[in-house]
Structure formats: C-alpha cells, structure tokens
Amino acid sequence: GNFKFQFGEVGKRDGQLLYPNRVAVVAKTGDIVVTERSPTHQVQIFTKFGQFIRKFGADILQHPRGVTTDNCGRIIVVECKVMRVVIFDMVGNVLNKFSCSRFLEFPNGVVVNDCMEIFISDNRAHCVKVFDYQGNYLRQIGGEGVSNFPIGVGLTASGEICIADNHNNFNLTVFSQAGQLLGALESKVKHAQCFDVALMKDGSIVLASKDYRLYIYRYVKSYV
C-alpha cells in the first residue's frame, strides 16, 4: 500500500486527463493505457513512469467503458451505450471495429486470450459474452443466478476465466474458457460499491472500491 507516484492533471491537453475510467498495461513495454469517458472519449498512452506518449480515438470512440491489451500490443476497447468493440494498434490505427448491440446490454469489462477471443462482462445480462476479433459471437459464459451483476472479468495465469461481482458480498466465479463452471469463491467482507477488479500474475486479486480503497485478495483454488 505504499504510494509510488502519480501522473496526469485535470485538463484536455496532451497528458492531462478528464474523467479517466479504465486502465490497462502493455505487457512487453509496461506502457499504461488510459481511457477517458465523455467529453474527451479517447485513449492516452503513457510510459510506465507516467510520461505522455500519445493520444488517439476521440474521433472514433463515444462511450469507452472497458480496455485491455493483447500479447501483440493491440488495444481492445469496449463501449457501452453504443455497444461496440474497437481494436487499435499502439499508434492509434483502427484495425477493426464491430457492433455488439444484438448481444450486449451493459458491458463493463474486457479481457482477451492468446487465441484472439474477446471476453466481455455484461452487468445487466449477468454473464460474459465471447467474440472473435472479426466480431463473430462465439458463446456465453455464466448467467443469472451464477454470476450476478458482474463488475469485471479476468484471466488467470493458468487460463481460467474469473467473473467478479459484489452482489451481496465480493464473489469470484471461475470457469474454463469453454464456459464450464469450475468453482465459486466468496469473501467474508462486505464492500461498498466496487468499480473494477484486476488479476495479478502472482494470483492476487485487486478490487477498487467506492470508499477510495484498494482491497487485495489471494486467489486460492478451493474447488476440485
């Protein structure tokens, strides 16, 4: 919990931030990807030390909600309201974009695997919807009564899909990438509204809460 550094300040100029809502990290370089909601609705890239590199997407994005990166450095943004996925390269070129309006209700998190599959958590549909990079709908993971009101989705180091929610308690429901339910984990602590969740390589789960705190859990396989 020791403070390291901060970057960005309020504004619309290069390196300034206005309503940032999601963050992702490029694995190979450590570059930090930040999305901003309206009115700037754009992506900004910073070094791992917080130095501004570039920004893009304001002429394309409308309501960015979730962001992730893949092992090739591509940036995948999912948008709410317009229900769309936009895939950028690291310099801001649009590689593909497609509508998910037939399948999504309120997307709020996104992760990708090495097979170019996009996993999007849907808060109102109580599940994760899976697409390929061309926009083809592939399958659903979870559902009402199993993964209620998810706040995000993550991929463990061993390749399992974890759907996080804070419906009553903080819950983590674990699936195979094919959608088979593997187990469900529940915290004993009740949290205020949770905004986002991240899975770390060491198995830690970092939860961002409305009370301006980060909570760290240890992911332990307690199922068969």
Q: In the prediction, which pLDDT does 224 show? A: 46
Q: In the prediction, which pLDDT does 149 show? A: 93
Contact between residue 24 and residue 31 where contact means Cβ atoms under 8 Å apart: no
Prediction pTM value: 0.93
Q: Pseudo-torsion of CA 74, 79, 83, 87, nearest 10°?
A: -10
Q: What one-letter code names the amino acid at 50?
A: G
Q: In the prediction, which pLDDT does 169 show? A: 81
What is the DSSP secondary structure assignment for residue 10, as one 8-state letter?
Answer: B
Residue ranges in the chain modelled with pLDDT below 50: 224
Q: In the prediction, which pLDDT does 222 show? A: 56
Mean of the per-residue pLDDT values of the chain? 93
Q: In the prediction, which pLDDT does 220 show? A: 67
Q: In the prediction, which pLDDT does 17 show? A: 96
